[in-house]
Amino acid sequence: MKKQIAILGSTGSIGTQALEVIEEHSDLYEVYCLTANNRVKELAMQARKFRPAAVVIANESHYEELKDMLDDMPDVKVYAGMRAIDEIVEAEPIDMVLTAMVGFAGLSPTIHAIKAHKKICLANKETLVVAGELICRLAAEYRSPIIPVDSEHSAIFQSIAGEGDNAIEKILLTASGGPFRNFTKDRLATVTQADALQHPTWDMGTKITIDSATMMNKGFEVIEAKWLFGVEPDKIQVLVHPQSIIHSAVQFCDGAVKAQLGVPDMRLPIQYAFSYPDRIHLRGDRLDLFKHPLEFFEPDMDKFRCLALAFEAIRKGGNMPCIVNAANEIVNKGFLDGRCGFLQMSDIIEATMQHVTFDSKPDYDTYVATDSEARRVAAELMG
């Protein structure tokens, strides 16, 4: 039986690479459902090619257009709206849900998928940043495995495979350092959107590319690692490794360090999440270590304040990471739209952390309320 996969965010960077993996292994995997937000044409083209049982467009204003585009394909059901995404992930035939949408929007469908006992292939790191404690509790209660797709977390996951209860002493979380790794703080003040979108090693969606440039992405990955692997932030060391060859490593209690290496290619962690615990062939470049120096540097948390703020948020706990995520979504978009400068982003996030109501024991409704409040506060601060 082929495994049935729901791809949430199929028109994005992770979503399209997931479809490449599925196409290469069409003997093993089948697309059950595809979702997008606005890119109707791309979604319709994907539906024609992969013939899923259903497609969902989150933005309801595109419903009629999508329906028209697929009216000669009666076997593909067309739905619209966020609630429809929550419902579709519960469909009985689905084995795995790849959460490849961006931002807070990933939280609700992930919860629905967990409650429906689906295997979660988790790319949407914001889900764990916002509500890591809740998600881990639900995943345990409903016995839904969460398999990381984020390259660093997949590397850690691969490094601990077969280690049973052996204690992790430390996680070595690698970071490319982004396009501004060697910039002075003065120079950071004037960087443009185009500069920030030039990631040195990965080709990704715009939101995560900006997060990599500020290093908020690495801060989020510290939080993600805490929840996925039960390791406290003080035992997670961020290492700037500009080549993105060592995707992360784990140090065990006997001092042994295990890492996963490879050329930067997200199809591998996506495929591994689908095939785990098996490995299956993947077409593509292979690592040639003669071609790559492997360098490591300490991150500069004064220059990249977002990384320090993420550490601060996870140490504080409660809804603080949710506040940081919401403020970050606002300033990330604000920077892309030219409404705030590069260095202003961390200033606004920090101020938002001080102004939004703190809750040390949030539940789902608290996260939703916190997200709204923090977005409002950050938007006001941005002016």
Ligand X SMILES: NC(=O)C1=CN([C@@H]2O[C@H](COP(=O)(O)OP(=O)(O)OC[C@H]3O[C@@H](n4cnc5c(N)ncnc54)[C@H](OP(=O)(O)O)[C@@H]3O)[C@@H](O)[C@H]2O)C=CC1
218 is in an annotated binding site: yes
When CB distances to ligand X are compared, the closest residue is: 12
The answer to whether residue 30 forms part of the interface with Mn ion (CB under 5 A) is no
Question: What φ, ψ does residue 150 adopt, rounded to 5°?
Answer: -50, 135
d(CA 9, CA 280): 24
Which range touches ligand X (CB under 6 A), out of 33-41, 66-74, 239-247, 305-313? 33-41
Q: Which listed residue (4, 5, 6, 11) binds ligand X by CB under 6 A?
A: 11
Task: State in angstroms the smallest separation of the CB of 151 from Mn ion.
Answer: 5
Q: Is residue 142 part of the contact set for ligand DXP (CB under 6 A)? A: no
Question: What DSSP designation does 118 have?
Answer: P
Indicate which of Mn ion, ligand X, ligand DXP, none lies near residue 36 (CB less than 5 to 8 Å, by partner kind): ligand X
With 0-12 CB in 10 A as exposed, 13-18 as middle and 19+ as buried, what is 155?
buried
175 binds, among ligand DXP, Mn ion, ligand X, none (CB under 5 to 8 A by kind): ligand DXP
Query: In the set 30, 86, 150, 371, which binds Mn ion (CB under 5 A)?
Result: 150
Is 151 annotated to bind a ligand? Reply is yes
> Which one of ligand X, Mn ion, ligand DXP, none is in contact with 154 (Cβ closer than 5 to 8 A by kind)?
none
Task: Compute how many residues bind Mn ion; rule: CB under 5 A.
Answer: 3
Q: Is 266 in the site for ligand DXP (CB under 6 A)?
A: yes
- For residue 238, state whether it binds ligand X (rule: CB under 6 A): no
- Residue 133's identity, in one-letter code, is E
- 150 annotated to a ligand binding site: yes
Rule CB under 6 A: choose which of 54, 101, 215, 382 binds ligand X: 101
Q: How far is the CB of 29 from ligand X (least distance, A)?
A: 18
Query: Where does the chain have alpha helices with state H?
Result: 13-24, 40-50, 63-69, 82-88, 107-115, 125-141, 151-160, 185-188, 193-196, 206-214, 216-229, 267-275, 305-316, 320-336, 342-355, 364-382
Is residue 309 a contact residue for ligand X (CB under 6 A)? no
CB atoms within 10 A of CB 302: 9
Closer residue to ligand X in complex, CB, 103/234: 103
Separation CA 216–CA 219 (nearest Å): 5
202 touches ligand DXP (CB under 6 A): yes
Q: Name the residue among 225, 224, 191, 223 with its Cα closest to residue 209.
A: 191
Q: What CA–CA distances, in Å, run from 100 to 67, 170, 357?
A: 23, 28, 29
To the question of whether residue 144 is assigned a binding role by annotation, the answer is: no
3-state secondary structure of 136: helix
Applying CB under 6 A, which of residues 175, 188, 282, 306 lies at the interface with ligand DXP? 175
DSSP 298-338: ---TTTSHHHHHHHHHHHH-TTHHHHHHHHHHHHHHHHHTT
Radius of gyration for the chain, computed over Cα atoms and rounded to the nearest angstrom: 20
Among the candidate windows 143-151, 238-246, 277-285, 310-318, which touches Mn ion by CB under 5 A?
143-151
Scanning 133-141, 146-154, 285-293, 296-304 for contacts with ligand DXP by CB under 6 A, the matching segment is 146-154
Nearest distance in Å: CB 100, ligand DXP: 12
Is residue 33 near ligand X by the rule CB under 6 A? no
Containing H/E element for 34? strand 29-36
Residue 295, both tokens: 């360098």
Tokens of 81: 């709206």
Q: How far apart are CA 34 and CA 45, in angstroms?
A: 11
216 part of the interface to ligand X, by CB under 6 A: no
| Residue (125 or 181) nearer to ligand X, CB | 125
Q: From CA 376, how far away is CA 215, in angstroms rounded?
A: 23
Q: Which residues bind ligand DXP (CB under 6 A)?
A: 150-152, 175-176, 178, 202, 212, 217-218, 266
Q: What residues make contact with ligand X under the rule CB under 6 A?
A: 9-15, 36-39, 58, 100-102, 105, 123-126, 150, 202, 204-205, 207-208, 266
